[in-house]
Structure 1
Amino acid sequence: MSRAQDRSVSLANRLASAASPYLQQHATNPVAWWPWCPEALALARRLDRPILLSIGYSACHWCHVMAHESFADPETAALMNRLFINIKVDREERPDLDKVYQTAHQLLARRPGGWPLTVFLTPDDLVPFFAGTYFPPEPRYGLPSFKQLLVGVELAYREQGRDIREQNRHLLAALASLEPRGGSALPDESLLDSAVEQLALSFDPVYGGFGGAPRFPHSQDLGLLLRRHAQLLSKGRPDPRLLHMARFSLQRMIGSGLFDQIGGGFYRYAVDERWLIPHFEKMLYDNGPLLGLCADLYAITGEAPFREAALATADWVRHEMQSPEGGYYATLDADTEGQEGGLYLWDRAEVRDCLDADAYRVFAAVYGLDRPPNFKGRWHLALARRPEEVAADLGLGIHEVQGLLAAARAKLLAVRARRPRPHCDDKVLTAWNALMIQGMAHAGRLLERFELLDSAERALEFIRRTLWRDGRLIAVWREGVSGPPGYLDDHVNLIAALLEMLQVRWSASDLEWAIALAEVMIAEFQDPERGGFWLTGPLHETLIHHHKPLADESLPAGNGVAAQVLQRLGHLVGEVRYLEAAERTLKLAAESMQRLPEAHASLLIALAEWQEPPEQLVIRAEGDGLGSWQRAAQKGFQPDRLVFAIPADVPNLPGALATIRPGDGPLIYRCRGTRCLPPVASLNELEATGGEIRR
């Protein structure tokens, strides 16, 4: 090997020691990749080379395509190495970098971004002067080839420096202008109605969901609709549309190709309006909220498919996505051995060979194997006909058909288990784990499935043991290697998970942990001047833009969850500072919410709870009676009620909880906001006072 070749290999292997599986996937590229680090940034400044920043994640199909077409190509790599300093970033490890440069892409390209994100930065100030997403190896799709782009961008950097500096100045000003300025008033309840009306306008009455293709689950919107439905129902103003939009949308998702009909779990999104063909990656952050929503809709409707989907999703997570140590893995890849969706696709003959004639006849009719293939000559399974229809056509009982289908799915799952597996990104992300803990605990409580509660407990203990150190939260962990400090999303979602777990079983240490996290949020993430919370804190790197997340994206907006949990925790322990921080957050976001209410479901839920705080029940009792009272008080879908069952012998409760003392027998304390009623000694007495308490 020549000296030049040896140098090229050593440069390319800078990612080999990275903890991120996504970065490791690129460690053998001939591209001289760097991770985002001070050394790479300093080298770019010293050599006066623009930075080619490529952001993606390990389960991303188009990231794999571009890697195969361009980053693995020696000719393209040589061009990249000669003209640029090339930096790879895992967007799941560095959401701060991803958010800044996705926003910059949207401003520069005047269209939404995505992954892979391809951004070219001036080296001295790290401001992007050109941005795009996927670029092909040859001109197509109306795009230049990636090699043409590389040459053109570098030439522009050399010859149009003055214009680029002027553009950078305008871009920085545009980024700064996006940040909310704050306000002095809160929106009223009509804003919730405006959001519902906007969702109704974009609702698809044929296939469910909102907007056109590609079609995403929009779990935050579904949650808002269910909460608003319950709120209006309790006020004697029912609006059946709200439940219908949420129920029908999730019903269609469960029966479609968005849901893994054999192994459980939801894919990230569908490429078509019918939800038939997904992008096949499975993300932990989707499945946690959708698991909870399935349980909610079962609690509301009693319809078995919602319960079955919840349990199938939870079983998939427990068996395939939970590490032996307890934490949940991040993602499953869309591709298997280079084939998109390879694990999940079926040949008709393969299914026929697995099943007997009766089972195949039913299975084929229900899942569309008696129709033309729907994906590259094979079948991706989705409900083509309702089991009840097939049972009637074949003269079979519905229970017989359901039994045949369940047995067939089990056989196909066993066959699928012998296939090559898609890559699993096994890093543990605190925010994503918190969303799954919340979903598992919520579904386990509503469905009375203790294995789900045990799974949530194990994951929570893993975070406490591994990612909470010396009063600081860590955002990422993999194989003993810790990532950056926790972001806003990590803190707020973990508090939400702790509050959900406290409604499953009381833990003084969990409450202390939630309070400690809230104190870190207020001290390090809050904007003391305008209100609201930054995505990053003082322990994070200073970037070209300081962002406050208000609108929901793939994760619920950090400020929306912050306002929710600070209100709930503030009322529980009587901490006025938490309530004030939540109020200032809502005032900061008021203009943004009014401009586009349907994009702010998490903040709107917080606004609804500010206007009318949830009822908080605290039960003090001993023995088995404590659990039975708790289950009775929690029964059904009650988003407006939080129930905490505290054993009578628990001492030294913090704040306002110290006044909630046990009696000679069981007592139930009922509060709403800052107002409380005298304790009662039975659930019947509690219900008798149901309409008397207001904020």
Structure 2
Amino acid sequence: MPNPSVKNHLQGETSPYLLQHADNPVDWYPWSEEALARAHRENKPIVLSIGYSACHWCHVMAHESFESPEIAAAMNEHFINIKVDREERPDLDQIYQLAQQMLTGRPGGWPLTMFLEPENQVPFFGGTYFPPEGRHGLPGFKDLLERIAEFFHAHREEIQSQNSRLLAAFEELDTRTSAVEPEMLGPAPLKAAQQQLAQSFDPRYGGFKGAPKFPNPSSIERCLRDVRGEHLSAEARQKALDLARLTLEQMAQGGIYDQLGGGFCRYAVDSQWRIPHFEKMLYDNGQLLALYADAYELWGSERCRRVLEETGHWAIREMQSPEGGYYSSLDADSEGREGKFYVWTREQVQALLEEDEYPLVARYFGLDQPANFEGHWHLYGAITPEALAQELNLSPRILEETLATAKQKLFAAREERIRPGRDDKILTSWNGLMIKGMAAAGQALAEPAFIASAERALDFVRGHLWREGRLLVSYKDGRVQHPGYLDDYAFLLDALLALLQARWREGDLAFAVELAEAALAHFEDPAQGGFYFTADDHETLIHRPVPLMDNATPAGNGVLAWSLQRLGHLLGEMRYLKAAERTLKASWASIQHTPHAHCSLLKTLEEWLYPPQMVILRGPEENLGSWRAIATGEYAPRRVSLAIPKGARDLWGQLEEYRPEGDRVTAYVCSGHTCSPPLTQQEAFKAHLADQGR
């Protein structure tokens, strides 16, 4: 066990992940000039360990290796040791994950363990989890440390030669080109992406084939948008609907979804969505809330409504700080065991329920089947409520009431357990994703509490993480850290546009413009097009990526280009439209190569080819609600609607030209380059929207 009297250089940090390692016998540093200078001065290679607080295998490696005095002694003797929270420093994580894949030819992950040259921080060896002693084909970490230290000093020229090749490979990753003319942009990648997604689709359980199975929100959003796609045949649109619907309904029934408390876990370890890796991440849930809001508007299932309600309340109850910002994650572990907070024995469930409740609940949640998680049961919807009602010859209403009562009892009992750890730092980018999700859920359900929650989070970010016209990354215990990245600006601008559509509030449009201007000033490559992940005044690293492909979160280039394009249409601001177009042209080769990996950029392409429908409502604030409901009450992914009160002052660009006629609500509808005359009758407004399509 570590000596609690020994403290390393992490003790002054705010990241919960770094603080978990503050009393390790390893002499950890945060990524800092002090650590890099010491490595250079002492000519010692760097051990770079990247993880995050909700990461199960990060905890395992910490316990096995970083708490070991013997292993720590080897690390301290031969290396300078740097610990990084990947959520606070995604710039470092992106670079070294890519390097690990280049060096090993294997996928990355966390914990990430890299060995860096001290002069320029170029990695020469790496991997992910290493056990303390060799097993399962993995070398033991202690032996690995000794071998790498010896190799570093004996083969310096060989390492430097490899480093030169690695840096050259990084340069080749930038596939952008400025030699693309606008007429070369077309719908072919949209069609190809739909075909690629359909080919990898799991027709039985939804999602994409294989295990572990991830939600892939950007891909499912692409399918939802394809349901209304002008570029697809009727058959392809139906296939896209089937894919999205089966996936979202199966996820809602599965164990990846917390059937008692709401919220989704990170992924399922099986192909049927039943057993999750139990960590809950803010970024997953923000994206999934927005997806389920779209799905609810598209096909209106009770299952989608339940997910929206329960996950929205979970976000407010467990993830929103008293100050307003949303926390980052919930751990997979409690009391040192993965999933312990969530799983049950039959006896525990039976003791909490009435005699007539248990058989029904056992059938619904799979308790009548063999244990599915280490001798316990993790709850999932083993049968749909509709099928169970028919099987038991019960009315759907009685079944639903019985299930709801039983779930309340189980939830209340579970609340008495020792909870998983919570990473309570507040990240700007992930707050952007959840603000958008809560705004979308609030709009779909007409739930003002969800919209108010999103407003509180936005106000927190603006009040604490927006300084002198720039965003910061992270807030914890009154301290803010790190200059903002592309995702911070992109996701927050996207969230503002979603929140403005759910309700109008003075000052928010002006903030959106400020974000857009800051992003253009500090992240764009105006010569070649596209946006760097780091700002123009960021510290110099071994690579400055321009992320185009979606990962667990959408690519910042796609989200920012799409948001700029929408804002440009709303305000009539050609600079924003041109920046989006430059991004599309620069990324065109990459999009064409793997269309399905660029779903967020495909949104930008789709609305570049088929401009969005803009709906501007003006009139007395008390009369706007019913008009807004008409504009937002159906799934219309290429529609942007703002309901702006008559006396609003915070107007920019061409929005100032849309004025109400007297005291009547007035609707202005522009589709492409054609605008309707002012519409002052609701029925005429409905008819016009129906005639223009969605």
Provide TM-score, normalisation by structure 2: 0.96
Structure 1 residue aligned with 2:27: 32
User: What secondary structure does 1:14 align onto?
Assistant: coil
Q: For residues 391 and 692 of structure 1, what CA distance do their matches in structure 2 show?
A: 41
Q: For residues 13 and 153 of structure 2, what CA distance do their matches in structure 1 show?
A: 32
Structure 2 residue aligned with 1:180: 175
Cα deviation for residue 666 of structure 1 reads: 2.5
Q: For residues 600 and 16 of structure 1, what CA distance do their matches in structure 2 show?
A: 40
Structure 2 residue aligned with 1:147: 142
Q: For residues 650 and 83 of structure 1, what CA distance do their matches in structure 2 show?
A: 64
Cα deviation for residue 402 of structure 1 reads: 1.6
- Does 1:408 find its partner at 2:406? yes
> Counterparts in 2 of 1:116-135, with a 5 A limit?
116-135=111-130
User: What secondary structure does 1:345 align onto?
Assistant: coil
Q: Deviations over 1:574-622 (max 9, x none)?
A: 1111000000000111111111111111000110011111101111111
Q: Deviations over 1:447-491 (max 9, x none)?
A: 111111111111111111111122111111011110111111010
The amino acid that maps onto 1:492 is: A
Structure 2 residue aligned with 1:395: 393
User: What secondary structure does 2:228 align onto?
Assistant: helix
Asked if the contact 2:264–2:284 (Cα under 8 Å) also holds between the matched residues in 1, the reply is: yes
Structure 1 residue aligned with 2:681: 682
Q: For residues 497 and 242 of structure 1, what CA distance do their matches in structure 2 show?
A: 25
Q: 1:331 aligns with which of 329, 332, 337?
A: 329
Asked if the contact 2:621–2:646 (Cα under 8 Å) also holds between the matched residues in 1, the reply is: no
Say which is worse superposed, 121-130 or 144-153, in terms of deviation. Answer: 144-153
Asked if the contact 1:675–1:693 (Cα under 8 Å) also holds between the matched residues in 2, the reply is: no
Structure 2 residue aligned with 1:94: 89
Change (3 A) 1:446 1:378: same
Change (3 A) 1:691 1:392: closer
The amino acid that maps onto 1:601 is: C
The amino acid that maps onto 2:681 is: S
> Counterparts in 2 of 1:447-462, with a 5 A limit?
447-462=445-460
Structure 2 residue aligned with 1:239: 237
Unaligned runs of 5+ in 2: none
User: What secondary structure does 1:582 align onto?
Assistant: helix
> Counterparts in 2 of 1:529-678, with a 5 A limit?
529-651=527-649, 653-664=651-662, 665-678=664-677
Q: Deviations over 1:69-116 (max 9, x none)?
A: 110111111111111100000000000000000011110011110000
Cα deviation for residue 382 of structure 1 reads: 1.0
Q: For residues 530 and 17 of structure 1, what CA distance do their matches in structure 2 show?
A: 41
The amino acid that maps onto 1:296 is: D
Q: For residues 447 and 49 of structure 1, what CA distance do their matches in structure 2 show?
A: 58
Asked if the contact 1:184–1:587 (Cα under 8 Å) also holds between the matched residues in 2, the reply is: yes
Q: CA RMSD in A?
A: 1.8
Change (3 A) 1:652 1:469: closer
Asked if the contact 1:22–1:57 (Cα under 8 Å) also holds between the matched residues in 2, the reply is: yes
Q: For residues 21 and 57 of structure 1, what CA distance do their matches in structure 2 show?
A: 8
- Does 1:16 find its partner at 2:7? no
Q: For residues 107 and 430 of structure 1, what CA distance do their matches in structure 2 show?
A: 30
Structure 1 residue aligned with 2:423: 425
Asked if the contact 1:346–1:378 (Cα under 8 Å) also holds between the matched residues in 2, the reply is: yes
Q: Deviations over 1:605-647 (max 9, x none)?
A: 1100111111011111114222211112221111121111111
Q: For residues 206 and 236 of structure 2, what CA distance do their matches in structure 1 show?
A: 21
Q: For residues 514 and 468 of structure 2, what CA distance do their matches in structure 1 show?
A: 11
Say which is worse superposed, 229-238 or 343-352, in terms of deviation. Answer: 229-238
Asked if the contact 1:224–1:601 (Cα under 8 Å) also holds between the matched residues in 2, the reply is: yes
Structure 2 residue aligned with 1:358: 356
Q: Deviations over 1:545-594 (max 9, x none)?
A: 00011000111100000111010001111111100000000011111111
Q: For residues 149 and 231 of structure 2, what CA distance do their matches in structure 1 show?
A: 61
The amino acid that maps onto 1:521 is: A
Cα deviation for residue 538 of structure 1 reads: 2.5
Change (3 A) 1:652 1:372: closer
The amino acid that maps onto 2:678 is: P
Q: Deviations over 1:290-314 (max 9, x none)?
A: 1121122121112101100111111
Q: 2:464 aligns with which of 461, 466, 482?
A: 466
User: What secondary structure does 2:357 align onto?
Assistant: helix
Q: Deviations over 1:360-418 (max 9, x none)?
A: 11011111111111111111111112233333333332222221111111111111111
Q: 2:340 aligns with which of 322, 339, 342?
A: 342
What is the count of residue pairs matched by the alignment?
688
Asked if the contact 1:289–1:436 (Cα under 8 Å) also holds between the matched residues in 2, the reply is: yes
Cα deviation for residue 239 of structure 1 reads: 2.2
> Counterparts in 2 of 1:361-380, with a 5 A limit?
361-380=359-378
Cα deviation for residue 238 of structure 1 reads: 6.4
Change (3 A) 1:113 1:200: same
Q: Deviations over 1:303-342 (max 9, x none)?
A: 1011001111111111000000100000000100210011
Q: Deviations over 1:274-297 (max 9, x none)?
A: 112111100000001111211221
Asked if the contact 1:485–1:539 (Cα under 8 Å) also holds between the matched residues in 2, the reply is: no
Q: Equivalent pairs: percent with the same residue?
A: 51
The amino acid that maps onto 2:180 is: S
Structure 1 residue aligned with 2:190: 192
Asked if the contact 2:293–2:444 (Cα under 8 Å) also holds between the matched residues in 1, the reply is: yes
Q: For residues 453 and 477 of structure 1, what CA distance do their matches in structure 2 show?
A: 22
Q: For residues 416 and 320 of structure 1, what CA distance do their matches in structure 2 show?
A: 14
Cα deviation for residue 687 of structure 1 reads: 4.7
Asked if the contact 2:564–2:576 (Cα under 8 Å) also holds between the matched residues in 1, the reply is: yes
Asked if the contact 1:530–1:588 (Cα under 8 Å) also holds between the matched residues in 2, the reply is: yes
Change (3 A) 1:691 1:323: closer
Asked if the contact 1:214–1:270 (Cα under 8 Å) also holds between the matched residues in 2, the reply is: yes
The amino acid that maps onto 2:669 is: R
Asked if the contact 2:507–2:650 (Cα under 8 Å) also holds between the matched residues in 1, the reply is: no
Unaligned runs of 5+ in 1: none
Q: For residues 252 and 86 of structure 2, what CA distance do their matches in structure 1 show?
A: 28
Asked if the contact 2:262–2:314 (Cα under 8 Å) also holds between the matched residues in 1, the reply is: yes
Q: For residues 393 and 505 of structure 1, what CA distance do their matches in structure 2 show?
A: 44
Cα deviation for residue 661 of structure 1 reads: 2.1
Q: Deviations over 1:472-515 (max 9, x none)?
A: 11111011110111111010111111111111222241111100
Asked if the contact 1:66–1:134 (Cα under 8 Å) also holds between the matched residues in 2, the reply is: yes
User: What secondary structure does 1:473 align onto?
Assistant: strand
Asked if the contact 2:332–2:338 (Cα under 8 Å) also holds between the matched residues in 1, the reply is: yes
Cα deviation for residue 675 of structure 1 reads: 4.0
Structure 2 residue aligned with 1:111: 106
Change (3 A) 1:617 1:25: same
User: What secondary structure does 1:349 align onto?
Assistant: helix
Change (3 A) 1:396 1:689: closer
Cα deviation for residue 536 of structure 1 reads: 0.5
User: What secondary structure does 1:114 align onto?
Assistant: coil
Change (3 A) 1:84 1:298: same
The amino acid that maps onto 1:121 is: L
Cα deviation for residue 688 of structure 1 reads: 4.8
Say which is worse superposed, 680-689 or 133-142, in terms of deviation. Answer: 680-689
Asked if the contact 2:436–2:495 (Cα under 8 Å) also holds between the matched residues in 1, the reply is: yes
Cα deviation for residue 37 of structure 1 reads: 0.4
Q: For residues 310 and 484 of structure 1, what CA distance do their matches in structure 2 show?
A: 33
